[in-house]
Amino acid sequence: MKMKPSVVENYQQLHVFNCKGRLLDLSTPLIMGILNVTPDSFYDGGKFTDLKAIVAHAGTMIRQGAAIIDIGAQSTRPGADKISPKKEASRLLPALEAVLDKFPQALVSVDTFYADVAQKAVEKGASIINDISGGSFDPEMFQAAGALQVPYILMHMKGEPATMQEKPKYKNVTEEVFTFFADTLPALQKAGVRDTILDPGFGFGKTTQHNFQLLNDLNLFQQLDKPILAGLSRKSLTYKTLGLKPEEALNGTTALNMVALQNGAGLLRVHDVKEAIQTVKLYLALKNAVTSHSSS
């Protein structure tokens, strides 16, 4: 495995993805807005369970600047049990249809680890598959993603949501996540997946220390030449470190999102789109100032 320390000066690799005929340019960082249509997610569970509220919140995030709306219908918080594909689809598909009926130009990703649900969602207009299991929960997922020809978000998770936070251990968390990506990408390519985004899985089978190490080492994943997604929004590494509740963790999330951008993240998955957009604008202003100064 090749993994060497590197100095990254606000580096962003050019990545343009084909989302069912529409181009998604990740050469400049973009925002993915979280739309949980679940009754039990760790932060916003129960807020968006009827279609009127779902469509209204999607509209708010789109107006605030979200490039992607990520719809999830199954809680993957620590301790959560899996629900069936049928139950997940019964929540997810009506929400997806309602959002795209109101906002037909929206790019929507579906947060699912079931190949059947992903296929039905893409057939109804979704453009990206966001799989927290990295293909480990459904052996048909990679083939489905390849056949559907949509971008696939490959996330690392140790264990399953129900048990993943029960004393997770690594010899070196960064090396293990890096190896997982390096070993899995060829399988995705073989299945016909052309566009892959890497998500190191903050909070999924990792202690606070593991999460901070991954954030500090995020630039190393650029060696895999894929865009990097950072999903830090209101997670425990922020609110537990600060002694707060998730509802109070926006400021901490913003701080860590800036670190992620500086370490190479091209996509921020967030609950709070407006604040994340502001963070990206400040990051780009800083980057441009440094570039202008070095070239003068």
Q: Provide the angle, in degrees to the nearest 10, between the axes of the packed helices 273-295 and 250-262.
A: 30
**Catalytic residue, candidates 226, 234, 235, 287:** 235
**Catalytic residue, candidates 120, 234, 269, 287:** 269
> Nearest CA to 237 among 279, 207, 267, 276?
207
Classified as helix, coil or strand, 171 is: coil
269 flagged as catalytic: yes
Classified as helix, coil or strand, 152 is: strand
190 flagged as catalytic: no
Strands, DSSP E only, in the chain? 16-19, 22-25, 30-36, 68-72, 108-111, 128-131, 152-155, 196-199, 229-230, 267-270
- Give the C-alpha separation, 225 to 289, whole Å: 25
Q: Please identify every residue annotated as catalytic.
A: 235, 269
